[in-house]
Every structure is written in structure tokens, then in C-alpha cells.
Structure 1
Amino acid sequence: MRRDAKTGPGQLPESLLTQINDCGFFPQLVTDSVALTVGSEPVDAFLVHHEATFAPEGIGRHLSVLVLTATRLIVSHTDEHADDPAGNTAISSTESVPLRLLGAIALTRVVSKPEKFGSAGAETVETWLTLSWNTVRRIEIEPASCGDPSCTADHGFQGSDVAEDMVIRMSPVSDGAGNVAMLVAFGTALQQRVR
């Protein structure tokens, strides 16, 4: 199907197109998937994350593109299709999440030498962004206890139900300081947008 210039990849910022192309992972497919969902809406912020995935079949590649518009968070995922014995297919999907449906947005930073934060002595070692919009829920179950260390009775189990739809984790060592800074900027922009 042919699209007019209004909804084509030309609507995506040049810096986003460059980052997708630099990953070298099916850039035309990824660009088309993101552009289809963004449509004619202006892009306010974006994040590109390319990572290895581990499965019993071996190591694969995964590319996530997050785009923030005035009304939505667009999440695009592209993976190598591990079930294809010839290895020449990919799966690309996009999700459009209205901002009003976003839950908690957590931005977590691990900092070495926190007493020197703000100076050259401190360093961000790892950063992750956790997003929830109640599509995926995780249940954590553990044995319950009564608090008495000598008690041997079976108190059953206790658990918590946690919404966690996506976690993006980066470090300066593996992803580069520039990408970590982009993760922080995107996470901060998203936190400020969610009400």
C-alpha cells in the first residue's frame, strides 16, 4: 500500500532515522513500523535501544523504539524470528499507549561514589527505565512467615501483583554514556508528561 508524504517516514525526525539506521537491524522495516503508528503526529521525544536476547535456540537481536507524542507513547519491537529454520524472517510490532493509561514510570540510576555526585568522582554505573500500562502483570510469590525466627509452622505463601510492561536497562560500559543520557532524558520527559 502506498502512503502519501504526510504519513511516511519523512515525518520522523532525522536524528531518530539516523539512530535506527546506525543499529543496522532491518532499518527500513523498523522505520516503516514506527512511521505507520506515529502517522502525522509530531514526535516530542524518542529512545532507541538495541540489545541481544538469549533463548534456548541461541542469541538473537531485539530493537525497541519508543516515541513520545503529545497524546501517546508508541512502543515498537523488532526481533529476529527464531522459529524460522532458514533464519530470514523478522517480527515487528508496535503498540500505541494513550498517555492517560500509563501507570508508574520509574527511572532508576545506580551511582558509584554517591557522596561525590555532581563531580568527576561520581559515575552513573547503570540506569533503567520501568514503564507500566497494565498490559503485563508479574506476580511475585514467596513463603510467608510470622516474624518468629524459631517458628517452624507453615504459614503459606504471600505475594505481590506488579505491573511491569517494559524495562529498558543501559550502562555506559555496554551502551555508551550518550545513550544512557538519552535514556535519562526520555524517562524524565515521560515522567513529566504523565499525570
Structure 2
Amino acid sequence: MTPLSSASAPDLHTALTRAGFYPKILADVIDEALDGREPGGHLVHLETHFDQHEVHRHITVLVLAEDVLLVTHVDDQQLDEKGKEVMAQISTELVQLSKVTTVATSYVYHQPQNYRSGDLVKELTLGIAWAGAQRIDLAPAGCPDPECDADHGYTGTSQQEDLVLRVSAEADGANAVAAARSFALAMRRASAPRVTETRVPAPASVSTTEVRGRVGSRFGRNTHQG
């Protein structure tokens, strides 16, 4: 696995080039999806999986840009045994930050009894969920009666569309975990900005006679005296 890019890196294209997974295609697709928005914090996560004699790679790129989160995912696939014919499939989704409902982080520390402030996180999982598309997982409904052969329909769960990335210092390196942690912080700040307290000045004092006059006039009579 290739380490994730730093969320504070000044150049997204540099991070894509460093990952080395079709950087030119990715750069063009991301530029098109952002449609003129200025990219800010970003995270580039490259994974490699081995399936018998085949090698599969996946890359996920998260980009914060003004009022949106851009999620880009790329898979490649060999179309022949020798690997000369390769196809890459790229998908993008533009999520309004106002639609983000959850930014969750899970931390793993080794030997927590010896923890000191500033110790590195060994593993971090970043989860982001947003309102919008729903993912529905269905399966045939079961029956506690082993003799029953009736059709009980289907049962399932409906979940909000979400994204989960797991980063390990052992597999990806300490810098990758730090980058994911920085992006999680940037994501929380962008999707749930702190509300600045605004003090409302106290109303000016009024006399009892003035209050009575206003209340009386509201109901069509005047109780103002003097």
C-alpha cells in the first residue's frame, strides 16, 4: 500500500503523481468534477490486493473544495492473461458539505497503559456518511421452524451512503496515519463549523404605563392614562 497524501500538501497533483496510479487521468477527472472550485485539503489512499495470480489496485481520492467533498474512486482490471489489455473505471461523487451527517474516527493504540500525550496512533479508521442515496441490503427472511418451507419474503437493512477508509501504521506507515488524522480534522471543521456566539442587547426599559397602553391598543381599547 502507498502512504496517503498529507491533507496539508499544497499541490494535489503532486500527491497523485506520488501515488503513481494513473495520475494524469485522475487529475483531469478531478478538475472536471470540481468545475472551477479551488481544491483544499485532500487525501489519497492507494490499496493493492492480490487474488491468486492477479493483482488488483484501488485508489480513493478525497478532496475538500469550498462547499463540497469530492469522492473519486478508481479500479483497474486486466482484460487478458498477460496484462497487456487493462481497463480503468473511475467514479466520482460530489457531496455538499451541508449534507454530511457524520464524520467518525476510530483510533487504535498499542500498549495504552504506557500512553503519553503525542504518542502515534497505530491504526485509524475514518468514516464519512451523508444524506442522499440509500444502500439497501436484502436477504431471504428466515423462519425458526426447520420444517417450514413457506416463503417469508425478504428482510434487510437500509443505510445511508457512506465511506470508510482504514489506515494502519504497520501497513501504510506512520505518515499515512497522520495524514488521515489531519484530513479527518479538516473534514469535521468543514462540515460542522463552530457557531460564534452572538450576544443580543437587552431591550430598552419602558414604563408600566407605556406597556399597559400598548397591550390595551392591541385589543381595540386604550388603557393609556395620563
TM-score (norm 2): 0.64
Structure 1 residues 24-83: Cα deviation after superposition (integer angstroms, max 9, x where no partner):
11110111111111232122210000002466884310111100012100011111035x
Q: 2:32 aligns with which of 28, 32, 36?
A: 36
- Structure 2 CA distance for partners of 1:137 and 1:118, relative to 1, 3 Å: farther
Structure 1 residues 127-177: Cα deviation after superposition (integer angstroms, max 9, x where no partner):
111111243536599x9xxxxxxxx999x9x97644352111111111111
Task: Say whether residues 1:183 and 2:180 are aligned partners.
Answer: yes
Q: CA deviation at 1:189?
A: 1.1
Q: 2:124 aligns with which of 118, 121, 127?
A: 127
Structure-1 residue corresponding to 2:11: 15
Are 1:117 and 1:123, in contact at CA under 8 Å, matched by a contact in 2?
Answer: no
Q: Secondary structure at the match of 1:89?
A: strand
Q: In structure 2, how many angstroms separate the alpha carbons of the residues matched to 1:88 and 1:70?
A: 35
Unpaired runs of 5+ residues, structure 2, are 1-8, 147-151, 193-226
Alignment of 1:111-150 (within 5 A): 111-119=109-117, 122-133=119-130, 134-137=132-135, 139=137
| Bigger Rg, which one | 2
Unpaired runs of 5+ residues, structure 1, are 1-12, 144-151
Q: Secondary structure at the match of 1:42?
A: coil
Task: Say whether residues 1:173 and 2:170 are aligned partners.
Answer: yes
Structure 1 counterpart of 2:99, one-letter code: L
Q: In structure 1, how many angstroms separate the alpha carbons of the residues matched to 2:125 and 2:157?
A: 21
Q: CA deviation at 1:118?
A: 3.2
Q: Secondary structure at the match of 2:109?
A: strand
Alignment of 1:52-67 (within 5 A): 52-53=48-49, 58-67=54-63
Task: Say whether residues 1:101 and 2:96 are aligned partners.
Answer: no
Q: CA RMSD in A?
A: 3.1
Structure possessing the higher relative contact order (Cα contacts under 8 Å, 6 or more residues apart): 2
Identity across the alignment (%): 28
Are 1:49 and 1:65, in contact at CA under 8 Å, matched by a contact in 2?
Answer: yes
Structure 1 residues 93-144: Cα deviation after superposition (integer angstroms, max 9, x where no partner):
2111111111211111111122333357x54221111111243536599x9x
Q: Secondary structure at the match of 2:101?
A: coil
TM-score (norm 1): 0.73
